[in-house]
Amino acid sequence: DIMKLHCAKFEDFLSTSPLPPYDQKLHTGVWRNLTIRYSDRTSQLMAIVLVKASDCDSAAWESEKARLTTHMATAGGVTSFFVQFYDGTSVPDPDDPVECVAGTDHIVEELFGLKFRISPGAFFQTNTPAAEVLYRTVIDLADADGGSMLLDICAGTGTIGICCARESEAHQVIGVDICASAIECAKLNAEANGVDNATFVASRAELVLEKLLVEHGREGKRIVAVVDPPRSGLHRSCLQAIRNCELIQRLVYVSCNPTGSLVEDTKALCGPVSKKLTGSPFYPVRAIPVDLFPSTDHCEMVILFERVGLYKPLAGTATDSVEGNAADIAATAEQEEATGTAEQSASTSATSSASK
């Protein structure tokens, strides 16, 4: 397939390059890795080469960059070709320097008939058909109506927020994300799809959450929050902001780490009131696993939380152990068959490591 072809092309280039590959132990060398994103629905491909260019002189680097661009073009089908520069020892941040050396500065993917532009540093689900199952689950659990304001935390390029704005009856959607380039994409995505009831803010959620919620809560809107954090879970200060703002009555949590960070975050959301957690606790109402990664043991978990006092459990339902609830969620993730299985899309990411 086209991604494997470009990975092979990159490996061919490395075998003839005078610049050395990056050594992860010694932290020396130039070529680190190649990441490829491809949309089966739009037939657009993005290639991103990560380099440590400081380990060679500028003339040698410019010569090899030009040769690489020509070499990769011979395979055809490249919509966007980027070089990202990183001298650190771990992984680059989304907003670290990136240079577009050929093609457009983004590619386009489709969800629910909506078009989304994807920049090099932006997060986007790798399995598009299954992502539609996932987002439909989120929309159904959020249950936003015309009197609701939906808050999309960890908004990324705005996929969840814009899909909710189009597919639900939410009066307004506000998306927040720390990645400035992703938020710019989100704004452009909303405009391109004619979605005029979605607003996006580039900031740490905990810095603007209270102001946004107080401002819109005064309008008498029912506030529903959706969070889709990275594997590490929500930042502690963001968790506290959500827990302590009782204007948020309903919370939909999308977790890619249901046996790890989700359990810890559930304890903070549902635990007893404390000096830092002053808001009424949430209660886990429903958990739905969605299989985004067929032929693996992993699944995404979508949890619906409601504020204690709003949700009335059925007779005989145990409510006396937050830790028990969290453990039950973890057990569900490990044991239950995922209900939202979709065939794995050709829209995925492939990485060909240039490291030793």
Reduce the secondary structure of 330-342 to three states and give it as a string: HHHHHHCCCCCCC
Known catalytic residue at 184: no
Band the pLDDT of 178: cuts 50, 70, 90: confident
What is the rounded distance in angstroms from the CA atom of residue 147 to the CA atom of residue 46?
A: 40
Answer whether 91's CB lies under 8 Å from 22's CB: no
Residue-level pLDDT at 314: 45
- What is the CB-side half-sphere exposure of residue 97 using CA atoms within 13 A? 9
Q: In the chain, pLDDT over 90 holds for what percent of residues?
A: 58
Per the model's pLDDT, the better-predicted residue between 238 and 352 turns out to be 238
Alpha carbons 158 and 252: distance in angstroms, whole number: 16
Question: Strand pairing partners for 254?
Answer: 302
Count the alpha carbons within 13 Å of 104 in the hemisphere toward its beta carbon: 12
H runs (alpha helix) in 17-97: 58-73
Q: How far apart are CA 11 and CA 295, in angstroms?
A: 27
The mean pLDDT value for 213-230 works out to 78
**Catalytic residue from among 132, 167, 206, 300:** 300
Percent of the chain at pLDDT > 70 equals 84
Q: 83 has which bridge partners?
A: 49, 99
**pLDDT in the model for residue 219:** 64
Amino acid at site 67: R
Residue found by looking up tokens 């506290």 in the block: 240
Is 207 a residue whose pLDDT tops 90?
A: no
Please report where in the chains the tokens 């992984």 appear, as a residue.
91
pLDDT: is 178 or 47 the higher one?
47
Catalytically annotated residue among 7, 256, 270, 299: 256
Average pLDDT value for residue range 99-111? 94
What percent helix, strand, coil does the chain show, rounded to 5? 35, 25, 40
Q: Which amino acid is it at 223?
A: I
pLDDT band at 353 (very low <50, low <70, confident <90, very high): very low
Three-state SS for 268?
Answer: helix
Given this model, what pLDDT does residue 343 score? 42
| Residue 96 pLDDT greater than 50, yes or no | yes
CB burial readout 213-225, b (16+ within 10 A) else e: beebbeeebbbbb
| Band of residue 216 on the pLDDT scale cut at 50, 70, 90 | low
Question: How would residue 220 be classed by pLDDT, with cut points 50, 70 and 90?
Answer: low
281-295 pLDDT per residue, tens: 999 999 999 999 888
Contact 326, 263 (CB under 8 A): yes
**Cβ(142)–Cβ(252) under 8 Å?**
yes
Between 353 and 127, the higher pLDDT residue: 127
Give the best-scoring range by mean pLDDT among 83-92, 129-138, 219-228.
129-138
- What is the predicted pLDDT for the residue at 91? 85
- Residue 334 in tokens: 């490990």
Q: Is 256 a catalytic residue?
A: yes
